[in-house]
C-alpha cells in the first residue's frame, strides 16, 4: 500500500521505501533546491535525483499527482 507525505505543500504518494528521499527533500536541501525537482517533475513528468549517500530516487508527476519512488 502506498503512503503519502506533504512535501513543499504538495501531497506526494510514496512508493516503497523512500524515507531517505523524503528526508533529503525536507531536511537536507533547502526549499529552493527541492522546488527545482517539483518544477521539473511537473514540466517534464519526471525528476530523478540522488541523495548525499548515493541513493537514487525519482519524483514523477502524472495525472495530477506526485509520486516518489526509487530509481
What's the grid cell of residue 61? 508527476
pLDDT tens digits for range 17-65: 999 999 999 999 999 999 999 999 999 999 999 999 999 999 999 999 9
Nearest to 47 by CA among 71, 15, 23: 71
Q: Enter the C-alpha cell of residue 51.
A: 541523495
Instruction: Determine the 3-state secondary structure of 29 from DSSP.
Output: coil
The domains of the chain are located at 3-70
pLDDT at 51: 97
Q: What is the pLDDT of residue 1?
A: 47
| Res. 2: pLDDT tops 90 | no
How far CA 61 is from CA of 3, 12, 38, 71, in Å, comes to 16, 9, 8, 14
Taking the C-alpha atoms of residue 2 and residue 7, their distance in angstroms, rounded to an integer, is: 15
- 11-22: average pLDDT: 96
Amino acid at each position: 500500500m502506498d503512503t503519502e507525505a506533504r512535501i513543499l505543500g504538495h501531497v506526494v504518494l510514496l512508493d516503497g521505501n523512500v524515507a531517505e528521499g523524503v528526508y533529503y527533500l525536507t531536511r537536507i536541501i533547502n526549499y529552493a533546491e527541492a522546488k527545482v525537482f517539483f518544477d521539473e517533475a511537473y514540466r517534464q513528468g519526471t525528476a530523478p535525483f540522488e541523495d548525499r549517500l548515493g541513493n537514487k530516487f525519482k519524483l514523477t508527476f502524472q495525472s495530477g499527482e506526485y509520486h516518489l519512488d526509487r530509481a
